[in-house]
Amino acid sequence: MLAGEEVIDKFPLVGIYGGTFDPIHYGHLRIAEELLDSIGLQRMIFVPSGAPRLRAAPAASRGHRAAMVRLAIQDNSRFALDEREINRPGTSTTVQSLREYRCELGENTALCFVLGIDAFIKINQWSEWQTLLNLCHLIVVGRPGFVSISGEKDLPAEIRHEYSSRHAADASDLARQPGGCIYTARTSLLEISASQIRSLIGTAKSIRYLLPENVSEYIKSNRLYTGNL
């Protein structure tokens, strides 16, 4: 070790939860809450996407989606909203945001990017996806219809290689380095989806108990997802 070189036994963990949040609901919030405790995250940063590259444009505007996230997390001191992608012109890419986080938080913070299994099995379609893997840890969580990675054989070959070489068996492994691991987290799997909520609203059915009441009221007052934006 060189004189003055810092030795870090444990890196502080910061969670980054990206998505369209169109709208945010209890499925998102419960996953975030459980990861704070099970992984030991200092905080969870919600990052609504601006213009996604690999999916259709969100139904609600950037401003509305950010406002709904702000309302949903306002009573949780460990949750934070980051509007960098909402405010970024053009198409959103996760790798750009992670580069910015790495510059802002430094090399002594472990970045933990949360994504669903349905997204992970297609991550090779993401912009600079292998660079992304080196910038952060991936925290892979179940989604309705995608409960778990049933076996490495089910993954595309290039993802299978990365998963095999980077897989962390225990959450404690994540604090030993600033990024580069893939960890599959067990969280409550609430059968709630944003598309389900939008469909219910579009057919004038109740969305009560699927998302926070203040978000529901915001949707109603702004006539979101009714075709009358």
Is the model's pLDDT at 157 over the cut of 70?
yes
Q: What is the SS3 assignment for 79?
A: strand
Q: Is residue 20 part of a domain?
A: yes
The residue among 175 and 57 whose pLDDT is bigger is 175
Residue 229 lies in a domain: no
**Model pTM?**
0.91
Range of the domain at 77: 13-221
Residues 160 and 179: their CA atoms lie apart, in Å, by 18
For 125, list phi and psi in degrees, rounded to 5.
-90, -10
**CATH number, position 89:** 3.40.50.620
Q: Number of structural domains, the chain?
A: 1
Q: Is residue 32 part of a domain?
A: yes
Averaged pLDDT, 134-155? 76
Please say if the pLDDT value at position 147 is more than 90.
no
- Tell whether 214 is covered by a domain: yes
Domain annotation covers residue 106? yes
Q: Is residue 147 situated within a structural domain?
A: yes
Region 111-121: mean pLDDT is 94
Q: Is residue 226 domain-resident?
A: no
**Which own/partner pairs from 71-76 qualify as long-range (CB within 8 Å, at least 24 positions apart)?**
71/212, 71/214, 71/215, 71/218, 72/24, 72/28, 72/29, 72/211, 72/212, 72/214, 72/215, 73/29, 73/46, 74/214, 76/33
Express each pLDDT in 6-39 by its tens digit.
556 799 999 999 999 999 999 999 999 999 999 9
Is 204 inside any structural domain? yes
